[in-house]
A and B are shown apart, each in its own frame.
Chain A
Amino acid sequence: MSFSLGYGTNGFANHRLDDALRMIADLGYTSVALTLDHHHLDPYAAGVSGETTRVAHLLSSLGLRCVVETGARYLLDPTRKHHPTLVSDDTDVRIDFLHRAIRIAADLGADCVSFWSGIKPSDVDDTTARRRMLDGVGKVLVEADRRQVRIGLEPEPGMFVQHLAQAIALRDELGKPELLGITLDVGHCVAVEPMDAAECVRHAAGLLVNVQLDDMRLGMHEHLEFGEGELDLPGTLAALAEVGYTGVAAVELPRHSHAAPDVARRAIEALTAALPVLPAEVEPVGDVDNPWLADAERRVRAEPTAIRALFPAVGRKVGREALRPDTDPQGLVHGTVDDLARQRLLAALAAVLPPTRLAEEVTELYRYGDDAERRGVLRGLASLPLSAVDAGLELVQDALRTNDIRLVAAALGPFAGEHLDQHSWRHGVLKCLFVGVPLAAVADTDRRADAELLRMVADYADERRAAGRAVPADAVSLLETS
């Protein structure tokens, strides 16, 4: 599965943090949305740095990924819920809190810090609120940049930024900062968005850094257990898989703490039942689910640069066999066991690195990679976020310049099908015919084969015949079926 199912600690508000984390892990969740609060890793406590290290170790030992949430109710002001905010009079308190959250997230190795705008006070006009929001997020981004932590703006019903479109517009106005993404609560989509949750997921696709899962009814901002509202859970999870989301998707039921253990158990049962059945190509193969790989994924999440030493070792550790040796002995079409394992490591990397560093690291893995590592990178490109597309295209072009059939085959998978320009794609297909890569290895031929490609292939067939040579069967069938 591409994304990681988690549970929010604000749904375990009556538990000690350690107990909550252990229960969440025991129930089978693989991540946690950690709401910083007075009793859960208090950012204002004297020993916060030591406590953060301790929690980081606990998360790591439980195998939990994490995102940091900042929606605690009475952490900053014991008298007024959620106060102060980014749009109230005294924004500095909130900004300082978010800075602290970013530092904690960096030390925890968390994916991101989530935050919302706040309710606009009745005596503040829209212009002032907007200016405060832009200024405030700008200041938060300074710390985010310093610590290289992504932050996710969450549209929250009733708040100044309550719709996905508003959050995206605000991001645009800030100049589309790489580290500023979107946190999407799929229940909110049901309650207040003009489109359903699956559409929202597709709309926000490349910007998603965090997802919250819960049910809701149309027009009602009340977090419900799955099945109690109108959310299309299977459709929403399928959309997350479809857009290649690889981050945390954690259950958000802050008003169910009184019955947390039962609620959390019911939630994972509902989620497991609703998960999309992945196509066979991306189903984990038995051999790949070995302890070394699981440990390697954890190490990459904890320390991303560990991938530099792990990536070359994959073949030695998990094997190198073709995934479908009977029909595809060289792994040109379906890839190999080590290809698949490297894709998993890349997905783990993508989940923890901010966009610029991810693009750099993936490029380095390819540049310093041997043929097998390069293949792994090429086959993993499709599961990286959209921010990595430009870097990925350069690698695909590089691979298509080689004469190594395994690289050429790996380069023309779903990523190239989606993103490679038509001219390069056509030449890639023709190259496959030249060097003997089965066209089954090329993704999206049905959709992308055009008249110009057919002309090129027909000319190639003529040239072969003129030389008294056989025309590759794949060329013949392409010309016949199109």
Chain B
Amino acid sequence: MRIFDPHIHMTSRTTDDYEAMFAAGVRAIVEPAFWLGQPRTTVGSFKDYFDALIGWERFRAAQFGIRHHCTIALNPKEANDPRCTPVLDILPRYLAKDGVVAVGEVGYDSMTPEEDDAFARQLAMAVEHELPALVHTPHRDKLAGTRRTLDVLKESGIAPEAVAVDHLNEVTVELVKDSGCWLGFSIYPDTKMDEDRMVAILKQFGTDKVLVNSAADWGRSDPLKTYKTARRMLEAGFTESDVDKVLWRNPVDFYGQSGRLVLDELPGFAPSAETFAGNSVLRGGRR
């Protein structure tokens, strides 16, 4: 089983996670730029974060046989902080990078005028840089927020097939499916979606344009939720090909629109490799 996690915040995860992910079949990931839990106070702080996403984290993932890509954006929560909004001016520089496969996460948190502005400007950047957009939907007031999101997307002129609307659930799935956008689902231990509900949605709405992610970050979350969902799909009678479509081909098709996905195997990682022998942890010397 090969897995592409289209949304995971590896910056917050350990090397144990990387090892477990590789062992479970994860070979490619996309790390969207988002909030860090601790609010940022300067543009420099974003710059360092973006630099890590296009450099250090990409390198770290490669040490474990996993191809890392990212999306770059000012997230909706921090779009409300005037100390952070000037970051919008430096985004174009990052959107030109090899490892950047979409603009994101953009969208709404509290649906303020500031969020409107940042959302619209960044959708325009996505169009200009010919990149897809990864759109976060709010956790509070989700249905209204998702409706408003779809309205803004329509106004922006971005093609629906170039947009993934994320963190969907039973309440919002139909709305987004009708819009023509890709459908993102985050599988979490407690909140958002779980594996069984995901399988139910797949049964009802099919596998087309569905993206399943772990959205694992610094909170209580599980980087193996993609794998666990895949297992549950097989148990529920989906075929290997269905699983491959949802957990590999779909994210490849979506982010592949950037023209920047690099998915060939990393040197030194045979397809069947189950250990990481010979790989340096790069700290305190090689074993």
Contacts and interface: CB of A to CB of B under 8 A. Distances in A.
The answer to whether A and B come from one shared complex is yes
Contacts of B259: 316
B267 interface: yes
B222 to A, nearest CB: 27
A315 interface: yes
A472 B286 contact: yes
Chain A residues touching B, range: 20 to 34
Given A402-B56, A404-B55, A404-B56, A370 B286 contact: no
B contact patch SS = loop
B220 interface: no
Contact of A372 (B96, B98, B267): B98
B282 A371 contact: no
A402 B267 CA distance: 22
Contacts of A157: none
A248 to B, nearest CB: 31
Interface in A381-409: 402-406
Interface residues of B, number: 22
Interface in A276-326: 308-309, 312-313, 315-316
Contact of A405 (B55, B58, B97, B282): B282
Given A316-B259, A403-B283, A472-B286, A370 B93 contact: no
Contacts of B287: 469
B286 A436 contact: yes
B205 interface: no
A54 interface: no
A266 interface: no
A404 B59 contact: yes
A368 B285 contact: no
A370 B260 contact: no
A83 interface: no
A94 interface: no
B63 to A, nearest CB: 9
A330 interface: yes
A439 to B, nearest CB: 14
A313 B96 contact: yes
Nearest to B93: A368
Interface string B158-172: 000000000000000
Contact of A370 (B54, B282, B283): B54
A434 interface: yes
A329 interface: yes
Given A312-B97, A316-B259, A371 B286 contact: no
Contacts of A435: 280, 282, 286
B86 to A, nearest CB: 15
Interface string A420-436: 00000000000000111
A342 to B, nearest CB: 12
Nearest to A403: B282
Nearest to A436: B280
A80 to B, nearest CB: 55
A374 interface: yes
Nearest to B279: A436
A434 B280 CA distance: 9
A368 B59 CA distance: 17
The residue among B98, B280, B282, B283 with the most chain A CB atoms within 10 A of its own CB is B98
Interface in B215-260: 259-260
B59 A316 contact: no
Interface in A6-57: none
A21 B94 CA distance: 40
A464 interface: yes
Contacts of B286: 434-436, 469, 472
The residue among A315, A370, A372, A404 with the most chain B CB atoms within 10 A of its own CB is A370
Contacts of B55: 370-371, 374, 404
B96 A371 contact: no
A374 B267 CA distance: 21
Contact of A329 (B90, B94, B267, B282): B267
B285 A469 contact: yes
Contacts of B51: 370
Contacts of B76: none
B99 interface: yes
Contacts of B97: 312, 370, 373
Interface string B40-61: 0000000000010011101100
Given A308-B93, A374-B55, A435-B280, A316 B98 contact: yes
A128 to B, nearest CB: 53
Nearest to B56: A404
Interface of A: 308-309, 312-313, 315-316, 329-330, 368, 370-374, 402-406, 434-436, 464, 469, 472
Considering the complex of A and B, which 4 residue pairs feature the smallest CB-CB distances, nearest first?
Answer: A370-B54, A371-B55, A312-B96, A404-B59
23 contacts: A312-B96, A315-B98, A329-B267, A368-B90, A370-B54, A370-B97, A370-B98, A371-B59, A372-B98, A374-B55, A403-B282, A404-B55, A404-B56, A405-B280, A405-B282, A406-B59, A434-B285, A435-B282, A435-B286, A436-B282, A464-B285, A469-B286, A472-B286
